[in-house]
Chains A and B, each alone.
Chain A
Amino acid sequence: MTVSKSEVGLNMRRMRSAFLTAVLSIGMVMFLLGGFLMIILHAKAFVKVLKERIEIQVFINDEMNAETKRELRLWIDKQPYTKSARYISKQEAAEIFTKRTGEDLSILDNNPLDASINIRLKSEYVEASKIAKIKQELAGKEGIVDVSFDEKTINRVNSNINKLWLIGSGLTLIIVLVSLFLTFNTIKLSIYAKRFVIRSMQLIGATDSFIRKPFLIQGILQGLIASLIAGILVMILTYSIINRIPELSIIQSTSDIILTLIVLLVFGTTLGLSGSLWAISKYLNSNLDNLYT
């Protein structure tokens, strides 16, 4: 029972270092999780940008008068699937054709190309089945000659995105499980050092809730500090990457960064709290003899 000065110093250092170790390891796990979350959110934004660059071409009857063309264009703009629409005249179509193929259409008497309205769809509509429905709807519209889209490309893009999401979800699950395991073990070790104090408190007649309280507060603090540090580091890293690669600015989103910070703070704090609750309950329900093993 005797407590020597060197033991006290050692105990105090151990307790302080146990707190810092817990903050550091939870922080590292949160940094990993935050970084991964940031990659996922940016990948999601990238996929959205990619999908919204896919166009469907709506070829229109060139003999329509300007008013009817304007009305059709307005109608397309109002459709829920339309992200943006662009009118391509016969002349522009010929120029694009020449640019792509190198063949000059001006040698022909008549320009054989139709004018079109090129629609960029909202990302959630970029699926072959949904586009087929849109095509059907457009085809029935007066003044529309044909509707064309690259079904193979759309299917390939969607299939690759699905594979990526599957891999991403698997990795997220692994990271969450690893973070749970590491955090719980770190907290358990930091409380392990105080197991005899816990037992002493029980034998004095302290209630479980009284004993639990300081440990839960400590767990919340550890989780909060760790996730705050991790969040700041993830934010700095994200901005520095975006600054170095200007092309990424199109997918940069402040709301994603704020979301990542909130997720980290909530997850880290919950992890600290639940880890402490689990570890303290383990020692509260332990037999005295088991504390020595």
Chain B
Amino acid sequence: MFSEEPVVQVQQASIEIKGRNILKDISFTVQKGEFCYVIGRTGSGKSSVLKMLYGELTPVRGEVKVAGYDVKNIKKSELPYLRRKLGIVFQDFQLLPDRNVSENIEFALRATGWTDTIKIKNKISEVLMMVGLSARALSYPHEISGGEQQRVVIARALINDPVLIIADEPTGNLDPEVSKEIIQILLNIHKMGTAVILATHDYSILKRNPFKTLECRMGELLQHSQSYIAQKSWD
């Protein structure tokens, strides 16, 4: 199934922030279309792993390859093109308050080089349908719920057909029912062949949907198989 080159290849990478060691000699891969969790306590380095993947943090050692880009040695001018191959979703990812849902996505499309108006319209319809928000296209961010806003953020992350969705605690501010809906959308995206890395501290998600899990603990990254996660008691 995973015969192609992995979407993410991390080899012996170490992350430091302001001289402080966060994670040391971590190695993992994420295959095309794979779903993977990143868990760990607050401050354990979950977000740092994700930041390293989208080029926000440069590892001090090791090799990091994401969507064909050598992230450790990537030029600043190449970062936008790496990020167009990824879909990044996190709690504080802002929508433009003065534009409606459709315009928010249109803005993102134009920001990433789309110019053809018909193609833009088609893409907006496509991604809004994927997240079940077609009826809310003309609503402004303040007119929709938190869960719906997060769905818009996911729709926006899907505009360039990313090979990988990186979601950093996307359900952090949402109630359990809405969280389930968001996770379901991410699972649907995964089923359509896009790899997803989801950082979370909500273990009930893992219990319901077990997948390979990377655990940040004491400066190390432990890997747990899907079957281990399925059997583990999270109580």
Q: Mark A201-245, 1 if CB is under 8 A from B, else 0.
A: 111111110110000000000000000000000000000000000
A211, B51: Cα distance in complex, Å: 21
Hey, which chain A residues are within 8 Å of B218, CB to CB?
none
Known interface pairs A205-B84, A288-B51. Does A7 touch B97 (Cβ–Cβ under 8 Å)? yes
A65 at the interface (CB under 8 A from B): no
Closest-by-CB residue of A relative to B109 is A204
Which of B97, B146, B153 is close to A8, meaning CB atoms less than 8 Å apart? B97
Hey, which chain B residues are within 8 Å of A3, CB to CB?
94-95, 97, 141-142, 149
A5, B92: Cα distance in complex, Å: 17
Closest-by-CB residue of B relative to A284 is B76
Hey, which chain B residues are within 8 Å of A97, CB to CB?
none
Whether the Cβ atoms of B153 and A7 lie closer than 8 Å is no
Hey, which chain B residues are within 8 Å of A210, CB to CB?
111
Whether the Cβ atoms of A204 and B141 lie closer than 8 Å is no
Closest-by-CB residue of B relative to A204 is B108
Hey, which chain B residues are within 8 Å of A202, CB to CB?
79-80, 83
A253 at the interface (CB under 8 A from B): no
B56 at the interface (CB under 8 A from A): yes
A182, B83: Cα distance in complex, Å: 36
Which of A7, A206, A287, A288 is close to B111, meaning CB atoms less than 8 Å apart? A206
A82, B95: Cα distance in complex, Å: 72
Hey, which chain A residues are within 8 Å of B156, CB to CB?
204
A5, B97: Cα distance in complex, Å: 9
Whether the Cβ atoms of B111 and A203 lie closer than 8 Å is no
B5 at the interface (CB under 8 A from A): no
Whether the Cβ atoms of B92 and A196 lie closer than 8 Å is yes
A11 at the interface (CB under 8 A from B): yes
Known interface pairs A1-B93, A1-B150, A287-B56. Does A205 touch B81 (Cβ–Cβ under 8 Å)? yes
Known interface pairs A204-B108, A204-B156. Does A1 touch B91 (Cβ–Cβ under 8 Å)? yes
Q: Which parts of A6-27 form the interface with B (CB within 8 Å)? A: 7-8, 11-12
Hey, which chain A residues are within 8 Å of B108, CB to CB?
204, 206
Whether the Cβ atoms of A1 and B94 lie closer than 8 Å is yes
Hey, which chain B residues are within 8 Å of A196, CB to CB?
92, 94
Hey, which chain A residues are within 8 Å of B83, CB to CB?
202-205
Whether the Cβ atoms of B112 and A1 lie closer than 8 Å is no
A4 at the interface (CB under 8 A from B): yes
Whether the Cβ atoms of B97 and A12 lie closer than 8 Å is yes
A80, B155: Cα distance in complex, Å: 78
Whether the Cβ atoms of B56 and A200 lie closer than 8 Å is no
Q: Which parts of A154-209 form the interface with B (CB within 8 Å)? A: 196-197, 200-208
Q: Mark B140-155, 1 if CB is under 8 A from A, else 0.
A: 1111011001100100
Hey, which chain B residues are within 8 Å of A205, CB to CB?
80-84, 86, 111-112, 160
Hey, which chain A residues are within 8 Å of B93, CB to CB?
1, 200, 203
Hey, which chain A residues are within 8 Å of B54, CB to CB?
203
Hey, which chain A residues are within 8 Å of B74, CB to CB?
none
Whether the Cβ atoms of A5 and B56 lie closer than 8 Å is no
Q: Mark B162-190, 1 if CB is under 8 A from A, else 0.
A: 00000000000100000000000000000
B96 at the interface (CB under 8 A from A): yes
CB distance from A196 to the nearest CB of B (A): 5
Closest-by-CB residue of B relative to A9 is B142
A7, B141: Cα distance in complex, Å: 10
A2 at the interface (CB under 8 A from B): yes
* Interchain residue pairs with CB less than 8 A apart (24): A1-B91, A1-B146, A2-B146, A3-B97, A4-B142, A7-B142, A8-B141, A11-B97, A196-B92, A197-B94, A204-B83, A204-B88, A204-B108, A204-B156, A205-B82, A205-B83, A205-B111, A205-B160, A206-B80, A206-B112, A207-B77, A208-B80, A287-B56, A288-B51
User: Would you list the 4 A-B pairs with minimal beta carbon distance, nearest first?
Assistant: A205-B84, A206-B111, A2-B146, A205-B83
